Chain A
Amino acid sequence: MTLEELRAALDARLVPEARRWLAESLAAVRRDPSQIRLRFPAAGRHLGRGAVVNHASSDEQVPRWTMDQAGRVLLLAELGDRVVDELDELYRYGDADEQRAIVAGLHLLPIGGRGLPLVVEALRSNDARLVAATVGPYGSARLPDHLFRHAVLKCVFVGVPLAAVHGLDRRADSELARMLAGYALERVAAGRDVPADVWAVVHRFDPWEELAAIKAEMKAPRAAPRAAARRALAALAAERRRS
Chain B
Amino acid sequence: MGKYLKHPLGQAGVVLFLAYLLFDFGIAYIPPLFGIASAPIPNSVLLQYLITVSVGILIWVSDNEARWAEFKEPMHRVMVDPDLKTARNSLMVLIPILVALMTFSQVRPTVAAPTTLRSIHPAPPGRIDFQGTTLELGSLQNPLRSRGSMEEHYEEGKRVYYENCIACHGDGLDGQGHYAHAFSPVPVSFQDIGTIAQLTESYVFWRVAKGGPGLPNEGAPWNSAMPAWEDFLTQDEIWSVIIFLYEQAGHEPRTFEEEGGEGEVE
Chain A partners chain B? no
Interface set of B (CB-CB < 8 Å, partner A)? none
